[in-house]
Structure 1
């Protein structure tokens, strides 16, 4: 679900969400939105890995760190570039 923000009288889609925590701005890992009395996940940060060359062996787990896998609110996206064989 994209988050829309209004800037200079125009609505646009936010590409990242930041929160101020103890006076320091940090990227948000997830944002929950209350809608009709129920909380729902509205934004989830993601980490992206792109395979750019042909490979005979590919293990998706190895492309992301243990910390990435431990964070349930961090989306993992694996992209295979056009023309690449896996």
Structure 2
């Protein structure tokens, strides 16, 4: 497995922001972490709210730690609220 480079992380974040603009999403903040949970890049669109960087990093960290995307984590939170509360 190759290490995630800054160049690749920045490209991923830019592509995510472009996808957000395509669907007219609210202003986004994108955090890309390496497999150890360390921040590689963070991009915040103009107009994104104050806590978005911390939220983006937390979502990315949770996805890495649990090995599943944030949509599946949200489903887990609905089905197993005690487990998610224990993680918090």
TM-score, length-scaled by structure 2: 0.24
Task: Identify the structure with bigger relative contact order (alpha carbons < 8 Å, sequence gap 6+).
Answer: 1
Q: Rg bigger for which structure?
A: 1
Q: Which has the higher strand share?
A: 1
TM-score, length-scaled by structure 1: 0.24
Q: Which has the higher helix share?
A: 2
